[in-house]
Amino acid sequence: MNPVGAYTEMAKKTIADVDVRGKKVLMRCDFNVPLDDECNITSDDRIVKALPTIRSILDRGGALILMSHLGRPKGQRDDKLSLAPVAKRLSELLGQDVVFSEDCIGPKTKAKAQALKNGDCMLLENLRFYKEETIKDKAAKEDAQLRQAKDDFAQQLADMADVYVDDAFGTAHRDNASMYTVPTVMEGKPRVIGFLIEKELKFLGQILSEPDRPFVAILGGAKVSDKIGVIENLVSKVDRIIIGGAMAYTFLKGRGKNIGNSLCENDFIDKALALLDQAAEADCEVVLPVDHRVVRELKPHAPHRVAVGDVDPGWQAVDIGPLAVKAFTDKIAGAKTVVWNGPMGVFEMPPFDEGTKEVALAVAKATDDGAGTIIGGGDSASAVKKLGLESKITHISTGGGASLEFLEGKKFKCLAILDEEE
């Protein structure tokens, strides 16, 4: 089974399938990079991961127009969220000047695009400086004025190019104008995926369609509500689900455990219990923490102790305890496929990062032992990178929210409309 096809119904054409020489290529990237207070890029990882697609287009004689969002400027210009630093860093990485357009649409931007020669590269200013970029498609369908605004914005972007490329997996689950409306209005022109999205679909698609077993899923983070769809989709596919982080306490309370002041989504207790029943029926083992690092007050290096079983009133669980660490790592050992999304505790606040660290090390060891391992972006990816374990993981997704929705089995309509392989 073609894993890309397994996800998108049919396999998608990539930029490698398009002769770009002499053509203007409009490419949606995810350059939502972290910046410090002086607007310096603190990690260029997202830029680096886009380079294979960018270089393929430039080396084959295409004129490339890059577009992306950065942060949440809410439809207004905010110089602190300008993509100018990205243009500078991209110029350094490519070894050539990248033209920067101080707007993403308009006559001046269009003129700059028309002036590009084969092998030239231009980056447009932050798409989200325009509210039209983030108008939801549902809202546009219900409001003719919003629909017209979104269509006009998308048309201005589309008019600059002969080819559309989507290589922004981090926003692949969104119906932003640049992700969905632009390729819609470019119907009849080549509309393909880049190598980064191809890689994401390959690994994520394969893990759901053809996993080596035992297949273990590790889920953490704060809210059960964020992971309900993932659990529902995975219980029939995996052999074991390990649940840590604050979301575990909704399950534990449902099972009659005292959880003290630990975070709990009381409205989702019944749903959590239903998920446990669903897992039992599917013969999927669910592993919950048996002990916890607890504090009276959550702050860095706060006095803490380990609570086994119940959590006393006035105390809050902030990480899994040593017994849970051993149980979790034992359950990861021997796995042939591992997918992990979400930390085991308040990992950004030492010493309550110990559980997340140990799980990260166990996943890295599983890779060494021959397992295919995938980190679903977000906080899990941050933890792995912080520990310097990136090379020990088979694939680290570039999209936290997108990878979650993928694991839920959702289809991304912005990918569905792109050209299919013949």
109-135 mean pLDDT: 97
Per-residue pLDDT band for 134 (boundaries 50, 70, 90) equals very high
Q: Domain check: are 300 and 176 in the same one?
A: no
Residue type, position 203, single letter: F
Better-predicted residue by pLDDT, 367 or 398 = 367
Tell me whether residue 151 is in a domain. yes
- Tell me which of 24, 28, 46, 331 is the catalytic residue: 46
Highest mean pLDDT: which range of 25-29, 233-237, 374-378, 386-390: 25-29
pLDDT at 399: 80
Give yes or no: residues 298 and 178 share one domain. no
pLDDT on residue 141: 83
Q: Identify the H or E element spanning 66.
A: strand 63-67
- The reply to whether 421 falls in a domain is no
In a domain, 418, yes or no: no
Tell me the pTM. 0.87
Closest CA relative to residue 6, chosen from 209, 269, 163, 145: 209
Other C-beta atoms within 10 Å of 51: how many? 15
Q: Residue 7 above 60 pLDDT?
A: no
Pair (159, 294) in one structural domain: no
Q: Is 46 a residue of the active site? A: yes
Task: Say whether both 335 and 374 belong to one domain.
Answer: yes
State the catalytic residue, choosing from 401, 409, 410, 413. Answer: 401
Question: Are 134 and 229 in a shared domain?
Answer: no
Element (H, E) at 69: none
Query: Would you say residue 223 has pLDDT above 80?
Result: yes
Name the residue with higher pLDDT: 221 or 307.
307
Q: Does residue 82 lie in a domain region? A: yes
Query: Can you give the residue range of the structural domain that contains 262?
Result: 205-407
Read off the tokens for 180.
Answer: 């969905």
Paired sense of beta strands 24-28 and 63-67, if any: parallel
Same-domain pairing of 74 and 161: yes
- pLDDT > 70 in the chain, percent: 97
Please give the structure tokens belonging to residue 144.
């003719």
Length of the chain: 422
pLDDT of residue 1: 33
Q: Are residue 94 and residue 216 in the same domain, yes or no? A: no
Find the angle CA(142)-CA(147)-CA(150) to the nearest 5 degrees. Answer: 140
Quick: pLDDT tens for 333-360.
Answer: 999 999 999 999 998 899 999 999 999 9
> Token match 């029943």: residue?
277
- The yes-or-no verdict on residue 249 having pLDDT over 90 is yes
**Residue 143 belongs to a domain with what CATH number?**
3.40.50.1260
d(CA 84, CA 44): 13
Q: Which uninterrupted H or E stretch holds 411?
A: none
Number of domains the chain is built from: 2
Tell me whether residue 419 is in a domain.
Answer: no
- Give the model's pLDDT for residue 10: 55
Q: Which of 166, 196, 226 is the last residue of a domain?
A: 196
Task: Report yes or no on 171 lying in a domain.
Answer: yes
> CB–CB of 129/69 below 8 Å?
no
- Active site (annotated) includes residue 106: no
- Phi, psi dihedrals of residue 408, rounded to the nearest 5°: -75, -15
- Cβ atoms 155, 185 nearer than 8 A: yes
Asked whether residue 153 carries a pLDDT value surpassing 50, the answer given is: yes
Is residue 286 located within the same domain as residue 376?
yes
Q: Are 66 and 96 contained in the same domain?
A: yes
Confidence tier at 377 by pLDDT (50, 70, 90): low
Is residue 420, in this structure, part of any structural domain at all?
no
- 400 labelled catalytic: no
Residue 3 has pLDDT above 60, yes or no: no
Q: Indicate the DSSP class of residue 97.
A: P
Measure the CA–CA gap between 44 and 86, rounded to whole angstroms: 8
Cα–Cα distance, 372 to 370 (Å, whole number) = 7
Tell me 101's DSSP state.
-
Query: 169, 196, 223: which is the final residue of a domain?
Result: 196
Indicate if 253 and 377 belong to the same structural domain: yes
> Residue 417 falls within a domain, yes or no?
no
Q: Which of residues 196, 231, 256 is at a domain's end? A: 196
Beta bridge partners of 191: 164
Same domain, 156 and 219: no
pLDDT, tens digit, 9 for 90 and up, residues 270-302: 999 999 999 999 999 999 999 999 999 999 889
Q: Considering the candidates 221, 244, 254, 378, report the single residue annotated as catalytic.
A: 378
**Quick one: 7 and 119 in the same domain?**
yes
Q: Residue 6 — pLDDT band, cuts 50, 70, 90?
A: very low
Q: Which of 110, 147, 223, 413 is catalytic?
A: 223
Over the stretch 299-336, which tens digit does the pLDDT of each residue have? 988 999 999 999 999 999 999 999 999 999 999 999 99
